[in-house]
């Protein structure tokens, strides 16, 4: 845990000449030597230390959203009835609770992060994720899986997401879009590796040991951010949970609502991209498991390329068209009859939907003039509003599918397509509100 900066007299207070409203750099292992506190310095925007933080951020996303993006494989496995017999909607509640807690826990993690407990959050998240997977390997009933995978892993992942999103702007400014895109690509990388590991090991070792291996992988890879990440500055006081001025900021309110709508449509693809071709007989069980990996592999590029472009043309000029294309591709899933068609659409949805994960932190930054309120507004947006989409996306789609064969896949994909497309047009409205109708204007 970071220590307070001692004054020249050795007390715990800073020098009178330092403004209280300035952020003060954290220094470790200097308790014995008095040091002068320095004021906030601009982000280095590059260099070895900054890029090491991107590597650490990749591992945080790898084990938070990367695990969430793997749920499509679990959905397909649980649908087989080997562990328990539940409807598609009931099973999707496991992933919905997990994703919801990532956002909801993040709301409370923000003030803890501001108090300097950055490393403590990562260590706790690492232990919770590992423990959750070990308990999941022992589960035999539905509610045990809900508690282990949905609640414990969800809380652990929630302790990792906000610290990563918060620390990156302290190391990057003009390259923030690229840095966040690279870091968030870790979630897609996790969504590629974890499904392959699970699908390959379930048949060879059985589900319990396959899950334990994933727990060990999470524990090992989270050692990287624990080792390399470090806060540059500690806020003089913890951020507030709520910023009431945001309630009158129309572009901000429209953005969080649009993102909630977009996530609702995206979650249908995340949950059912594996089960859909298997249930329809489009692919065999082996290829259906790999659809999650294909989806997330495409999303790696969908996190990096659009975010890098946003530094030049503006975030809303990127997120709006990508969201609309995602919605159109989801509509097209209703016409899939062959494996090749399914793979092509899965790649398109994976690529263009990457903006829903990677772009919001950049958009929040663009919409917040007062940087001291950025953390609060991100926490409010994700923890209170956008989190709701996690509870209505997958479960509602499962309810549309029904329980009797043939399942209502047309209704499911139309439902997803409508939400994703509407979010794209809402982003376009925000862009016009901010920058007007000019096509060449950065917005």
Task: Judge whether 194 and 61 are in contact, CB under 8 Å.
Answer: no
Averaged pLDDT for residues 269-297 = 88
Answer yes or no: is 248 within a domain. Answer: yes
72-114 residue pLDDT tens: 889 889 988 889 899 888 999 999 999 899 888 878 887 888 7
Give the pLDDT of residue 414: 96
Q: What is the mean pLDDT of residues 294-320?
A: 86
CATH number at residue 304: 1.20.1250.20
pLDDT at 23 over 70: no
According to the model, what pLDDT value does residue 81 have? 86
20 belongs to a structural domain: no
Does the pLDDT at position 11 exceed 60?
no
- In-domain check, residue 264: yes
> Which pLDDT does position 322 carry in this prediction?
94
* pTM, two decimal places: 0.77
Q: Is the dihedral of CA 93, 94, 98, 99 positive or negative?
A: negative
Tell me if 7 is assigned to some domain.
no
CB of 292 within 8 A of CB of 195?
yes
**37 in any annotated domain:** no
CA distance 88 to 102: 22
Tell me, what's the pLDDT at 411? 94
Distance separating alpha carbons of residues 166 and 189, to the nearest angstrom:
21
Q: Is the pLDDT of residue 156 over 50?
A: yes
State which residues form the domain around 324. 43-435
* DSSP H or E segment with residue 282: none
For residues 167-194, b (16+ Cβ closer than 10 Å) or e, as one string? bbbbbbeebbbbbbbbbbbbbbbbbbbb
How does pLDDT run across 394-407, given as a tens digit for each residue? 889 989 998 888 88
Q: How far apart are CA 348 and CA 333, in angstroms?
A: 11
Q: Considering the domain boundaries, does residue 164 fall inside one?
A: yes
Q: Are 225 and 312 in contact (CB under 8 A)?
A: no
Contact 297, 188 (CB under 8 A): yes
DSSP character at residue 275: H
Distance CA 4, CA 367 (A): 32
Residue 381 has pLDDT above 80, yes or no: yes
Q: What's the mean pLDDT in 202-215?
A: 92
Tell me, yes or no, whether 28 lies in a domain. Answer: no
The tally of domains found in the chain comes to 1
36 belongs to a structural domain: no
Instruction: Compute CA distances 311 → 92, 160, 336, whole Å.
Output: 36, 25, 36
121, 163 Cβ separation under 8 angstroms = yes
How many other C-beta atoms can be found within 10 angstroms of the C-beta atom of residue 42?
7
Report the percent of the chain where pLDDT is more than 70. Answer: 89
């Amino acid at each position: 845990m970071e220590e307070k900066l001692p004054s020249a007299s050795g007390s715990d207070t800073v020098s009178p000449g330092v403004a209280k409203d300035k952020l003060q750099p954290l220094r470790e292992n200097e308790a014995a030597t008095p040091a002068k506190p320095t004021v906030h310095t601009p982000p280095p925007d590059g260099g070895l230390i900054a890029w090491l933080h991107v590597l650490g951020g990749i591992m945080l996303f790898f084990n938070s959203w990367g695990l969430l993006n793997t749920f499509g494989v679990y959905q397909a496995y649980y649908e087989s009835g080997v562990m328990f017999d539940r409807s598609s909607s009931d099973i999707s509640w496991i992933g919905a609770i997990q994703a919801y807690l990532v956002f909801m826990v993040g709301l409370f993690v923000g003030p803890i992060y501001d108090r300097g407990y950055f490393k403590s959050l990562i260590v706790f998240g690492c232990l919770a994720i590992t423990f959750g997977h070990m308990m999941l390997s022992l589960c035999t009933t539905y509610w045990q899986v809900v508690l282990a995978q949905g609640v414990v892993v969800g809380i652990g992942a929630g302790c990792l997401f906000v610290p990563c999103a918060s620390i990156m702007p302290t190391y990057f400014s003009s390259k923030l879009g690229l840095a966040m895109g690279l870091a968030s690509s870790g979630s897609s990388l996790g969504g590629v590796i974890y499904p392959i590991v699970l699908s390959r090991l379930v048949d060879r070792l059985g589900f319990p040991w396959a899950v334990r291996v994933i727990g060990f992988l999470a524990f090992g890879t989270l050692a990287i951010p624990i080792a390399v990440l470090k806060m540059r500055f500690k806020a003089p006081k913890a951020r507030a949970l709520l910023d009431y001025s945001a309630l009158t900021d129309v572009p901000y309110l429209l953005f969080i609502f649009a993102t909630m709508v977009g996530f609702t449509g995206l979650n249908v693809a995340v949950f059912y991209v594996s089960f859909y071709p298997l249930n329809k007989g489009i692919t065999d069980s082996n290829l259906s498991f790999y659809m999650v990996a294909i989806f997330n592999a495409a999303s790696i590029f969908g996190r990096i390329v659009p975010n890098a472009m946003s530094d030049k043309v503006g975030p809303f000029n990127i997120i709006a068209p990508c969201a609309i294309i995602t919605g159109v591709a989801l509509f097209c899933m209703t016409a899939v009859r062959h494996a090749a068609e399914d793979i092509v659409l899965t790649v398109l949805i994976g690529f263009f939907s990457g903006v829903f994960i990677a772009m919001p932190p950049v958009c929040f930054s663009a919409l917040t003039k007062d940087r001291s309120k950025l953390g609060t507004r991100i926490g409010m947006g994700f923890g209170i509003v956008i989190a709701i989409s996690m509870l209505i996306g997958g479960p509602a789609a499962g309810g549309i599918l029904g329980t009797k064969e043939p399942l209502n896949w047309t209704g499911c994909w139309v439902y997803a397509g409508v939400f994703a497309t509407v979010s794209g047009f809402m982003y376009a409205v925000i862009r016009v509100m901010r920058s007007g109708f000019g096509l060449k204007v950065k917005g």
